[in-house]
Amino acid sequence: MIWGMVCDLWRQNIARDGIFASVVAQVAFPSPKNININMMPFIMGHAESIPSEYRHYQAMIDQCPIDVQEWGKVGYLTIHESYVKPGESQRRSGLHTESPGVLMSDRGRVYIQPLSAKWYG
């Protein structure tokens, strides 16, 4: 019953048209500066909406297939620079989705972070 409700919710609310993943050829990563921001809002198509200390990623953003009709809308930028040992994952391994503001502990407890809390930078 619950699974059926979840499937119905997905059918009603998940977009099936558009670009969800793409190959953008070769890109060059900037030299790391130990940046760790998660889902920082910026205005797509307006480089000046990205704080100057993160703008060195603009060349990579420009390679993303963002339709000109999306310019002016809010996009979200995540930059997580860290050393990753071979065979390990940088953040969480396996398939997952992001859920800003909802934190789950290793014991399965859910914590809701208030939207007023600083959640990037």
pLDDT tens per residue, range 61-108: 988 888 888 899 999 999 999 888 998 888 777 776 666 555 655 566
User: Is it the case that residue 48 has pLDDT exceeding 60?
Assistant: yes
**Shortest CA distance to 27 belongs to which of 52, 75, 59, 54?**
59
How does residue 19 score in pLDDT terms, banded at 50, 70 and 90?
Answer: low
**pTM (predicted TM-score):** 0.59
* Contact (Cβ atoms closer than 8 angstroms) between residue 6 and residue 14: no
**pLDDT tier, 120 (very low <50, low <70, confident <90, very high otherwise):** very low
* Mean predicted confidence (pLDDT) in 14-27: 72
